[in-house]
A and B are shown apart, each in its own frame.
Chain A
């Protein structure tokens, strides 16, 4: 009796100690990661989605310099890009938003809808120099919620060696029919045709959009004849073996790895792979994604916006505005976009980029023709449409539904 109660007391004590230890660590980590602004009003917080850049990187140094120029201390925190939207919503709920937020462009309209971001009318940010087609992604309800820091988009990389072996002249690829014909030739020559990413996430929608827009379809009418033709194009490529079945699970990175193996003629991928393309060890070229009837299709814009979240103390906006202007103008913008391998959002800096690196020319053209996913005042309707769209693509390509059925179902679900 005595011994058991003593044992019980001992275990109770042990449990208490363990619990105390856990709560103590939990509390300390909580306060460490939580309130970023408690350091005083002289410190301005910047959140960005570039965890690949540490304190010694050019980007981090630039952020610091801009802070010094504005006369304040800047605390920069980098998040994973897929995390940043939710992190910002949570921070705003707790009244703890950063002073400057750099965020993926399709998230801007969601954050604006949540009332997290200030408009350029409030924060006096000058957006007149940014290309209107890029700026549109951050505009909803007639208001602008930030300025693009850089842009990227999709195009077709091609393997010159594979095309040569298959006897395909790249100049002959002008529309969908000629592209499919080229793929057929490549397959006949024993090589593989094209790889892309049709995964069941936003990435899949991003990759499907150039074909959707290239067919003349609109995001608001997923069940249109043109949209069905775009999905049928992909479906037939899979059926004929021009594209591998693995596209259904490919991210843009794994799709690139397939292309980098040297077996594929084409790969739909982004500006950010340019550095890897040089390392691939075969001759490559870049072609804008063709539209159905010829010409270039509009591709969706990628890249981030610099925004100024709502603060209780509205006096902070003036300094935040100085910070953002410093980050997004002139030489700084050129340097930033070079480090991020983005195409600049202003034609002045774009010219400078092309002058320094002529390889960027097709990409600058592609960006100029590109279109924001949340443009056309779609705003927060886009995420819903996008989810139904990638589901439809997955259903059709995996063979569980016909393209027509999949898309009409998507259209009724997205409404």
Chain B
């Protein structure tokens, strides 16, 4: 306390003496000008970030909101005189027969993907944590799905699941199971895109959970082993509880990523057949760009619903992180 109160005095004295040498201006004016110039510097340093945020985040968000609240036709889009219609676009999408299925598919897609990505990722992380020979190499290989461009992995999946010439059906046929119309049957299309997305999402979970495992001290396992805990008990009583903070972050980030998945679904099924794999992300694109006559308003409205959902979970993420930082 004492130290901090002394500090400004000390500094201003130095400033004063320095100024006295440099120029003959009275100390008082310098004292007044000095804070102003640091403030300017602060603003100067802040400006690029602020400009960047406004230009690339705030303005597009504002535009998207504006789009969703106006009745845009192609003509009014070009001339910029679209009438304000309040929530009409939102009402339109809530009344749309696609809304309920899209909501359901988005929820199912997100939850199922998360559960499988997490479970498989955790199992693999525990497996690789044992550090056997070649484990580092194998772990690196598991990262491949993450490194591939999405268009490559999605096209490959759609080729493998093709009901006419796909390798998956060929294998099923070989072992005597009736082939499945993975991408062209309304009851299977959602499953197909979920399988592809789980495959793509596992490496992320693996990497994060693996690093989480490394921070658990080995002595705890030794102690548990001495107490007579078997492998299964050691996992549930030691690993799992200690991994909880990392798991929470992994799941929350995964949730936000999965909610907005678009490319895989679009490349594999275009949300079809008959809307059977449409999620909010593909529906929004379909409305805005999937037709020769774009419906920007409703498309933006669906997009905003997604933004709100992601925002809610993003805030949860921030809260969880803050809680963890405190504990």
List chain A positions with a Cβ less than 8 A from chain B.
12-13, 15-16, 19-20, 22-23, 26, 85-86, 89, 92-93, 106-107, 110-111, 113-116, 199-202, 244-246, 248-249, 258, 380, 382-384, 386-387, 391, 394-395, 397-401
Contact = CB atoms under 8 A, between A and B. Distances in A.
Nearest to A254: B162
**5 tightest CB-CB pairs across the interface, nearest first?**
A383-B293, A398-B273, A114-B74, A248-B184, A246-B164
A200 B270 contact: yes
A262 to B, nearest CB: 13
Contact of B163 (A200, A245, A382): A245
A395 B185 CA distance: 10
B274 A386 contact: no
B273 A93 contact: no
Interface of B: 45, 48-49, 51-52, 55-56, 73-75, 77-80, 158, 162-165, 181, 183-186, 269-276, 289-294
9 contacts: A15-B49, A16-B48, A19-B52, A114-B74, A114-B75, A115-B75, A249-B183, A398-B274, A399-B185
A13 B275 CA distance: 49
Given A23-B48, A394-B272, A86 B78 contact: no
Nearest to B188: A398
A210 to B, nearest CB: 19
A93 B78 contact: yes
A398 B186 contact: yes
B74 A89 contact: yes
B79 A398 contact: no
Nearest to A238: B184
Q: Which of A202, A249, A395 has the most CB of B within 10 A?
A: A249
Contact of B186 (A22, A114, A199, A399): A399
Contact of A395 (B52, B75, B183, B274): B274
B272 A200 contact: yes
A86 B294 contact: yes
Nearest to B269: A249
Q: Main SS of chain A's interface residues?
A: helix
A111 B74 CA distance: 8
A111 B52 CA distance: 34
A291 B52 CA distance: 59
B272 A248 contact: yes
Contacts, number: 116
B156 to A, nearest CB: 14
Contacts of B49: 15-16, 19
A398 B185 contact: yes
A391 B48 CA distance: 47
Contacts of A16: 45, 48-49
Contact of A400 (B48, B73, B273): B273
B271 to A, nearest CB: 7
A397 B273 contact: yes
B78 A200 contact: no
Contact of B162 (A115, A200, A249, A384): A249
Contacts of B186: 398-400
B184 A245 contact: yes
A398 B184 contact: yes
A40 B71 CA distance: 36
Given A23-B48, A86-B289, A246-B162, A92 B274 contact: no
Nearest to A406: B274
A114 to B, nearest CB: 4
A93 B78 CA distance: 4
Contacts of A93: 77-80
B4 to A, nearest CB: 9
B273 A200 contact: yes
A246 B292 contact: no
Best-buried of B77, B274, B294 by chain A (most CB within 10 Å): B274
B292 A394 contact: no
Given A201-B290, A246-B163, 10 more contacts: A26-B55, A89-B77, A93-B77, A93-B78, A114-B74, A391-B275, A397-B273, A398-B186, A399-B185, A400-B186
Contacts of B162: 246, 249
Contacts of A383: 291-293
Contacts of A92: 78
Contacts of A398: 184-186, 272-274, 276
Given A249-B158, A394-B273, A89 B163 contact: no
A114 B85 CA distance: 20
Given A19-B49, A202-B292, A400 B75 contact: no
A200 B271 contact: yes
Interface centre among B55, B74, B270, B292, by most chain A C-beta atoms within 10 angstroms, is: B292
A248 B269 CA distance: 9
B270 A110 contact: no
Contacts of A395: 273-274
Given A89-B78, A110-B292, A386-B292, A246 B184 contact: yes
B292 A245 contact: no
B77 A114 contact: yes
B290 to A, nearest CB: 7
A397 B270 CA distance: 15
A75 to B, nearest CB: 22
A398 to B, nearest CB: 4
A110 B293 contact: yes
Contacts of A86: 289, 294
A77 B49 CA distance: 34
Contacts of B269: 249
B274 A387 contact: no
A209 B48 CA distance: 54
Contact of B274 (A85, A106, A245, A401): A401
Contact of A248 (B77, B273, B289): B273
A12 B44 CA distance: 12
A248 B274 CA distance: 10
Contacts of B290: 201, 387
A21 B189 CA distance: 43
A391 B97 CA distance: 13
Nearest to A93: B78
